[in-house]
Amino acid sequence: MPIQNADIAEIFSRVANLLEIEGANQFRVRAYRNAARTVGSLPRNAADMVEAEEDLSKLPGIGKDLAGKIAEIVKTGSLDQLEELEERTPAELNELMNISGLGPKRVSALYHELGVTNRKELKAAAEKEKIRDVEGFGKKTEQSILEELSKKEEGEKRVPLMQAEQRAAPLIDYLKNSKGIKKITVAGSYRRCKETVGDLDILVTCKKDSNVMDRFADYEDVEKVVSKGSTRSTVVLKSGLQVDVRVLPQVGYGAGLHYFTGSKAHNIAVRKRGVDRKFKINEYGVFKGKERVAGKTEEEVYEKVGLPYIEPELREDRGEIEAAEKDSLPNLVRQKDIRGDLHAHTKATDGQASLEEMAKAAKKLGYDYLAVTDHSKKVTMAKGLNESRLADQIEEIDRLNEKLDDFRVLKGIEVDILEDGSLDLPDDILKELDVRVCSVHYSQNLSRKKQTKRVLKAMENPYFNILGHPTGRIIGQREPYEIDLEEIMKQARENGCFLELNAEPDRLDLTDTHCKMAKEIGVKLAISTDAHSTASLEFMRFGIGQARRGWLEADDVLNTRSLGDLMKLLKRA
């Protein structure tokens, strides 16, 4: 079985969870979480690096011990340390850590007080009203747990887009080596850049004597071959992800690509327009009676129903058909439009690379600027910066900028919005910065009214620039906190503030619908990676996908501006 980066990251995350449940030293726990983040964001496969005998200890936050553990996982598919932990502490407790509101202390309490080890037992304890009596919980938390469990059951089969990408990429590379392959594309919600993916639909065209189906069934990561045929095969990977490969005729490839990209609602709307024009549209082509009249490309399909080409990310039946009719489709933002990243961390707090390493990595991506926004002092777990340490970093950035050609490191901070709406650092130091990303990290359980009031008050500070990860959600793990984003956006527009589209793939915060809301209200967004390593600067692509789903154009995005124009926008009147 080929070991993917996602597998290694998952093992390290499980180790961190169980160590934390056991009450292990927080620095040790954080080392495994950082290692999971590092490996999960690597642009290359760690298994290939091990095979090439590269020194993994040089990776940010890895070191010799963790490098050895990565090699162990690659060579054996497992980690002895995890197995030892699971002998002491039930492995299923890891599942409970993914329930919003259940951190390690609460999971440990449920285990020791009620003997809860898995979701089934957790649900039973909640339904019998036992959880409310455990110290630190209560009736409200018990009800919240039941609601979370219900949501988990509904969406259990979907995986985050980045995890799907980590499974799809090596499989596509493998299938490309099949005999006679001409075209190969991953369709479905993956192609539409949805934040979670249910399964993978891979479409190919190939010569008649191609061995693509045999190679697909023989792929090392296949757990089960569900079906195998000459034009369609289905397998389940060892991760549980289902994958379909379909062989399409070249003459109907565009129609098939359109059909299997979806969404279902979009396809129905297109087919209806086809019926109105006496056409039948399916996965094989566009037909007039029995004659195929189009379908080689997607453009042909849209042309036959009187529409221009519609980008995959827009195909959700949310007004794109009507916009296409009026020739008013957005000119969607592209990755090459991005001039810099406005949210990144260094070793000064919880990042894994130095200031200079982050700057050079951003410059290598073709950016003109990078904002270094380490945490403020409130985030003690991340060694947040106080006034003195931030002043030292400002001087360090000034010195670095003198050395850099055609690139600028922006002096910034990710400053906490405290519960009373004040900012975590005084104005005297905030005014020395180029950019301030203002975020909620604590007291996320406030009511909608109080949370909204908190952020609105913070926006009154003249040094508030960008609202970081505006809802605090972590996909599949933590629900967004209650907040009136429409009111926040309106006030941001009036105050000369902006909101962030956090491109970290576990966040993608804002959602696509909130991105579109921001566009309609007229507030610009910063697509930023929240990078904690040089590799995670490349997460920008996930933010771009989300932005495109939200109909954003380059003009809607703050960091498509030149440095000069950006600085003007960041200076509030």
Interval 108-149: pLDDT, tens: 888 888 888 888 888 888 888 888 888 878 888 888 888 777
pLDDT the model gives residue 450? 96
| pLDDT tens figures, 353-387 | 999 999 999 999 999 999 999 999 998 888 999 99
Residue type, 86: E
- Average pLDDT rounded to a whole number, residues 439-464: 95
The closest of 540, 537, 534, 536 to 58, measured between CA atoms, is: 534
Q: Specify the CATH number for 159-247; select among 3.30.460.10, 3.40.50.10860, 3.40.640.10, 3.10.560.10.
A: 3.30.460.10
State the architecture of 335-570 in CATH terms: Alpha-Beta Barrel (3.20)
**CA 384 – CA 123 distance, rounded (Å):** 37
Res 155 pLDDT > 70:
no
Share of the chain above pLDDT 90, in %: 67
Round to whole Å and give the CA distance between 526 and 501: 6
pLDDT exceeds cutoff 70 at 573: no
Alpha-carbon separation of residue 398 from 319, 355, 531 (angstroms): 48, 11, 21
Main-chain phi, psi angles of 280, to 5 degrees: -110, 125
Return the pLDDT at 510: 92
What does DSSP assign to residue 482?
P
**In this structure, CATH architecture of domain 5-154:** Orthogonal Bundle (1.10)
User: Judging by beta carbons within 10 Å of its beta carbon (0-12, 13-18, 19+), is residue 523 exposed, middle or buried?
Assistant: buried
* Spatial CA neighbour of 40 closest among 80, 12, 73, 79: 12
Rounded to whole angstroms, the Cα distance separating 97 from 102 reads 6
CA distances from 409 to 316, 382, 465 (A): 39, 21, 17
User: If DSSP codes are grouped into helix, strand and coil, which group holds residue 393?
Assistant: helix
pLDDT reading at 475 higher than 90: no
Instruction: Supply the pLDDT for residue 527.
Output: 98
Whether the per-residue pLDDT at 184 is higher than 90: the answer is: yes
**Residues 477-520: tens digit of each pLDDT:** 788 999 999 999 999 999 999 999 999 999 999 999 999 999 99
The SS3 call for residue 128 is: coil
pLDDT, tens only, 28-48: 888 898 888 888 877 778 888
Prior bond to 263 cis, omega within 30?
A: yes
pLDDT tops 90 at residue 260 = yes
Region of poorest pLDDT, from 3-7, 399-403, 448-452, 520-524 = 3-7
Looking at residue 154, its pLDDT comes to 54
Q: Which residues of 132-156 are buried (b: 16+ CB within 10 A; e: fewer)?
A: eebeebeeebbebbeebbeeeeeee
Backbone φ, ψ for residue 157 (5° rounding)? -85, -5
pLDDT tens, residue by residue, 287-332: 999 899 999 999 999 999 999 999 999 999 999 999 999 999 999 9
- CA distance linking residue 272 with residue 267, whole number of Å: 8
- Residue 538 and residue 43 in contact, taking contact as beta carbons nearer than 8 Å: yes
Integer-rounded Cα Rg, in Å, for the chain is 25
pLDDT over 60 (residue 156): no
Going by pLDDT thresholds of 50, 70 and 90, the confidence category of residue 71 is very high
Of the candidates 341, 423, 312, the one whose C-alpha atom is nearest the C-alpha of residue 378 is: 423
Half-sphere exposure of 41 (CA within 13 A, CB side): 28
Q: Looking at residues 188-203, what average pLDDT do you find?
A: 95
Nearest residue to 527 via CA among 357, 341, 353: 341
- Tell the residue number behind the tokens 């501006």, with chain if given: 561
For residue 423, pLDDT beyond 70: yes
pLDDT: which is higher, 494 or 58: 494
The pLDDT, as a whole number, for residue 151 is 67
What distances in angstroms separate CA 140 from CA 115, 120, 127, one per listed residue?
21, 20, 13
Using DSSP, state whether 37 is helix, strand or coil: helix
pTM for this prediction: 0.83
Averaged pLDDT for residues 186-209: 94
Instruction: Name the average pLDDT for the chain.
Output: 91
**pLDDT of 2:** 67
Percent of the chain scoring above 70 in pLDDT: 98
Q: How far apart are CA 347 and CA 354, in angstroms?
A: 5
Residue 98 has pLDDT above 80, yes or no: no
E-assigned strand segments in 207-290: 222-228, 232-237, 242-247, 280-282, 285-288
Kindly tell me if the per-residue pLDDT of 541 is higher than 60: yes
Give the CATH H-level superfamily of domain 252-325.
DNA polymerase, thumb domain (3.30.210.10)
Whether the Cβ atoms of residue 337 and residue 562 lie closer than 8 Å to each other: no
Longest CA pairwise span in the chain (Å): 77
Q: CA end-to-end span of the chain, whole Å?
A: 59
Q: Which amino acid is at 479?
A: E
User: Can you give the residue ranges of every domain in the chain?
Assistant: 5-154, 159-247, 252-325, 335-570
Token readout for 15 is 């180790």
The confidence score (pLDDT) of residue 251 equals 93
